[in-house]
Amino acid sequence: MKQTESHFPLTDFIEYSEEDMLARAQNYYQELKRRHSIRQFSDRAVPQAVIEQCIKAAATAPSGANHQPWHFVAISDPEVKAQIRHEAEALERSFYEGRAGEEWLDALKPLGTDANKSYLERAPWLIAVFSKKRGGIENDGSKVNYYVHESVGIATGFLLQALHHAGLGTLTHTPKPMSFLSKVCGRDNDVDRPYMLIVVGYPDQDATIPEHATNKKALAEVATFN
């Protein structure tokens, strides 16, 4: 490998025995299997320090040329949450009233979702994820970013796992179009694009998950070994 820049030895890699590796992989699967999108949130507060650590975990994700083309806006201000709910519900109403089309609405039936998004106000935190078309490591906007969608998708996955691991419930929410989030979050420029809204908090005491959501495809259906 050509090393034109300075490189450091990989000192923080941990190797496990094959037995431990399998046990860790099994345990991790068991942990991730308990992650479910929830739509009934408690209004119980969650310390900002926890959210900060989870965002730091998300921001360790790999990215094109390590440009880290993401920005997270963590919102707990009730007024901002109310504004987001108001805007999102207006969009969702038109979605459920026909914009979605019959096939899409049919696919959503087992989830039991509708245009009511009260959790956007009730949950203690909303994390708006933005992708950045330009910026580079310096974040000064002068350089192009690469594989932005892939990079931000991976970081968002890391964020969901970190929040779940910390003991919090989440929901990925993507009101369409999401441009209103830019204004509400003060990221109204031509570099940042709203990517996803993550609702974060404790599940309500009587939170439920649709049976449909527990039906994950078997390994043989999602993977092939040659």
| Residue 22 or 111 having the CB closest to ligand IYR | 111
Closest residue by beta carbon to ligand IYR = 113
- Token code pair at residue 130: 């933005």
154 burial via Cβ count (<10 Å: 0-12, 13-18, 19+): middle
| Residue 52 or 114 having the CB closest to ligand IYR | 114
Q: How far is the CB of 171 from ligand IYR (least distance, A)?
A: 8
CA 160 – CA 198 distance, rounded (Å): 8
Q: How far is the CB of 19 from ligand IYR (least distance, A)?
A: 39
- Token code pair at residue 52: 């900060």
Q: How far is the CB of 116 from ligand IYR (least distance, A)?
A: 9
List of residues contacting ligand IYR (CB under 6 A)? 92, 95, 108, 111, 113, 173-175
| Residue 59 or 108 having the CB closest to ligand IYR | 108
Q: How far is the CB of 113 from ligand IYR (least distance, A)?
A: 4
93 burial via Cβ count (<10 Å: 0-12, 13-18, 19+): middle
CA 171 – CA 167 distance, rounded (Å): 14
User: How many Cα atoms occupy the beta-carbon half-sphere of 70 within 13 Å?
Assistant: 32
Give the list of residues 6+ apart from residue 29 with CB closer than 8 angstroms, or none. Answer: none
Give the list of residues 6+ apart from residue 8 with CB closer than 8 angstroms, or none. Answer: none
| Residue 62 or 101 having the CB closest to ligand IYR | 101
| Residue 167 or 177 having the CB closest to ligand IYR | 177
Q: How far is the CB of 104 from ligand IYR (least distance, A)?
A: 7
